[in-house]
Amino acid sequence: MAAACCAALAAAGSVLLPNTSAYNQTQASYWSLQESSLSPSCFAQPQTAQQAANLITILTSHQACSTTDFAIKCQTHAPAAGFANIAGGVTIDITGLNSISVSEDHSIAYVGAGNSWLDVYAYLDPYNKSVAGGRNGAVGVGGLTIGGGISYFSPQVGWTCDTVQNFEVVLASGELVNANATSNPDLYRALKGGKNNFGLVTRFDFATVDITRILGGNLVNDIADRAAVFAAFADFTTAPDYDVHASWVLSTIFNATSKAWTLLNVPVYTLPDTRPLVYEQLYAVPNISDNLALTELHVLANQTATPPLNWGMGTATYGVSTAFLNEIFDIVNATIYDFNLPGGVAWSIAFEPLPTVFLAPGAGKNVLGTTPADGNQMIFLTSPFWTDSSADAEVHAKTEEILTKVNAAAEKAGLLRQFEYANYADYSQQPFEGYGQSNLEFLLQTSKQYDPNGMFQKRVPGGFKLPGGQWW
Ligand SMILES: Cc1cc2nc3c(=O)[nH]c(=O)nc-3n(C[C@H](O)[C@H](O)[C@H](O)COP(=O)(O)OP(=O)(O)OC[C@H]3O[C@@H](n4cnc5c(N)ncnc54)[C@H](O)[C@@H]3O)c2cc1C
Ligand SMILES: *[C@@H]1O[C@H](CO)[C@@H](O)[C@H](O)[C@H]1NC(C)=O
Ligand SMILES: *[C@@H]1O[C@H](CO)[C@@H](O)[C@H](O)[C@H]1NC(C)=O
Ligand SMILES: *[C@@H]1O[C@H](CO)[C@@H](O)[C@H](O)[C@H]1NC(C)=O
Ligand SMILES: *[C@@H]1O[C@H](CO)[C@@H](O)[C@H](O)[C@H]1NC(C)=O
Ligand SMILES: *[C@@H]1O[C@H](CO)[C@@H](O)[C@H](O)[C@H]1NC(C)=O
Ligand SMILES: *[C@@H]1O[C@H](CO)[C@@H](O)[C@H](O)[C@H]1NC(C)=O
Ligand SMILES: *[C@@H]1O[C@H](CO)[C@@H](O)[C@H](O)[C@H]1NC(C)=O
């Protein structure tokens, strides 16, 4: 049946069939082995929004497609199996939706949903403009934006989704519509965090920000000095006058083969300042290496690609204290220290500031449920990577063990928060539950309105679905 559907879809543009080099290449382009191990009956590759709309129309209404489920694939950085690929169904690969342009006054960037952030930054840097997008340039505009989006500019302008002025989106009916503050305002809000539950987004119109050169790079400390780094991070994240140009990803990385921990900071400042005061406490800690330098965003975001690996994710949000950061480190170390696999496994355990200034622009305007009233927080992200695909279940169990133990410690310390960032969540988590009851109800009601047959609930099984979305 899926083969007949693929044949029908060929009427709406390029379709790649198994055992062709183009199909193999697209399948191999997934970031995680878990995703590239799934074989769809075909990849459909729209090159225009209209072609994407025609594809959805055929999937919705053509007899040959009535039992064929599908997935939406952008730049594949959601690692979980089936989030952007589907065994035996149709995978719509939107990376051909890669137009980029800017309004005459350079205040709005019109960005095809299939772009990588790298291409967007390379386009905008010459204008001294940027958008508040992902930090690693290989990540997709599509997936990141509809799940929130953490940018170097987020303390200044909020989540990436908060900067969207207009979504161009294909609804389940196949209709191509705009969603913005005045047209389809419910859909506009639902797409700011609602992931792939409302339609296939073909274009984002982003408000731009000013940029010239920024201070970026890595600063590596000895793990033995972690307490001083954690103290600096806690003070930075809870500063009463948070500097909106400053961000900091603090990662502790464990190699289960060498048993070595690495402490890697990525402190990025969005102005051309070579020694921002805001990092003085961090800089005062003795470092092992430092390549911080003024650079352009499209250079900083152009990171070396990783080899094919299995990847996991898992996340939580916590209140901030130095003591708790130290406690998290000890819990994680005790949980993973003696765990290894043939071929090895490594864990990145990362902390990212979520200060109140970051949450202010979008409070009540997106569906994430995050507001300055939550106080200064930090996002916790655990991501394991390993080569042995037969060990996926074991690594997943360890990920769950880390989250369970650290969440329990957080609860005890009064630091557990309900938000779980969907773009960092493990497939077993329920990030929409953390958006809060009224946002959940709003999402369900908006789904009923724009997708009355629940197509994006039932026939797009990949990614996080709306809890209670079984209303059809
Ligand atoms: C190395 C790395 C770096 C990262 N850096 C950041 C960062 O700096 N900031 C941050 O916030 N997050 C970051 N993330 C997390 C990232 O936001 C998510 O992994 C995101 O889902 C990736 O989007 P994608 O388009 O690349 O992935 P995909 O796997 O292609 O898509 C992810 C999900 O979104 C859906 N989707 C994608 N596009 C559309 C669309 N146009 N319409 C409807 N549904 C769509 C897919 O169906 C899928 O379920 C990072 C992840 C990795 C692995
Ligand atoms: C595509 O990949 C399959 C499975 O790995 C392989 O058998 C086939 O030869 C490849 N075909 C082409 C044309 O590359
Ligand atoms: C961008 O900023 C740099 C540094 O301030 C300046 O030299 C250059 O002329 C600017 N370019 C544009 C297009 O404004
Ligand atoms: C909102 O959508 C309407 C209807 O398509 C469109 O005319 C208008 O230009 C859009 N507004 C923005 C800000 O894009
Ligand atoms: C982990 O350490 C081992 C042994 O030193 C090394 O061979 C391997 O490359 C390291 N793995 C990673 C991911 O750094
Ligand atoms: C890192 O250490 C070196 C050597 O002590 C020092 O010169 C450099 O300024 C430090 N880096 C930062 C960002 O403070
Ligand atoms: C990214 O880096 C690679 C390797 O240095 C280079 O070939 C490529 O042109 C760069 N891409 C962009 C958009 O700058
Ligand atoms: C991690 O745990 C192991 C085993 O208990 C211990 O030997 C080691 O010192 C710990 N590492 C750090 C950096 O605390």
Distance, in Å, from the CA atom of 88 to the CA atom of 16, rounded to the nearest integer, reads 13
Q: What residue's CA is closest to ligand 1, atom 37?
A: 143
Distance, in Å, from the CA atom of 148 to the CA atom of 368, rounded to the nearest integer, reads 7
Q: Which ligand is closest to the CA of 274, given by its number?
A: 6
Residue 329 tokens, joined:
């480190």
Q: Which pLDDT belongs to residue 468? A: 77
In ligand 6, the atom with minimum distance to the C-alpha of 282 is 14
Q: Using a 6 Å cutoff on CB, does residue 141 contact ligand 6?
A: no
pTM exceeds 0.75, yes or no: yes
User: Yes or no: is domain 214-432 CATH 3.40.462.20?
Assistant: yes
Distance, in Å, from the CA atom of 268 to the CA atom of 184, rounded to the nearest integer, reads 36
Q: Which ligand is closest to the CA of 34, given by its number?
A: 1
Of 265, 279, 287, the residue with max ligand 6 atoms within 8 A of its CB, to mutate for a pocket test, comes to 287
Q: What residue's CA is closest to ligand 3, atom 7?
A: 212
Q: Which ligand is closest to the CA of 305, given by its number?
A: 1
**Do 214-432 and 2-96 fall under one CATH topology?**
no
Of 106, 107, 125, 128, the residue with max ligand 3 atoms within 8 A of its CB, to mutate for a pocket test, comes to 128
Q: Which pLDDT belongs to residue 470? A: 59
Which residues of the chain fall short of a pLDDT of 70? Answer: 469-472
DSSP H or E stretch at residue 377: strand 377-386
Q: Report CA(211)–ligand 1 centroid distance (Å).
A: 24
Q: Which pLDDT belongs to residue 239? A: 98
Q: Using a 6 Å cutoff on CB, does residue 384 contact ligand 1?
A: no
Domain boundaries, the chain: 2-96, 100-211+437-455, 214-432
The CATH number of 100-211+437-455 is which of 2.60.40.10, 3.30.465.10, 3.40.190.10, 3.40.640.10? 3.30.465.10
Q: Report CA(254)–ligand 5 centroid distance (Å).
A: 10
Fold observed for domain 2-96: 3.30.43
Instruction: Please write the tens of the pLDDT for every residue from 19-43.
Output: 999 999 999 999 999 999 999 999 9
Q: Which ligand is closest to the CA of 197, given by its number?
A: 1
Burial of 292 (C-beta count, 10 Å sphere; 0-12/13-18/19+): buried
Q: Report CA(16)–ligand 5 centroid distance (Å).
A: 37
Q: Which pLDDT belongs to residue 469? A: 65
Residue 468 tokens, joined:
């209670």
Would you say 378 and 236 are in contact if contact means Cβ atoms under 8 Å apart? Answer: no
Q: Report CA(36)–ligand 5 centroid distance (Å).
A: 24
Residue 269 tokens, joined:
């400042």
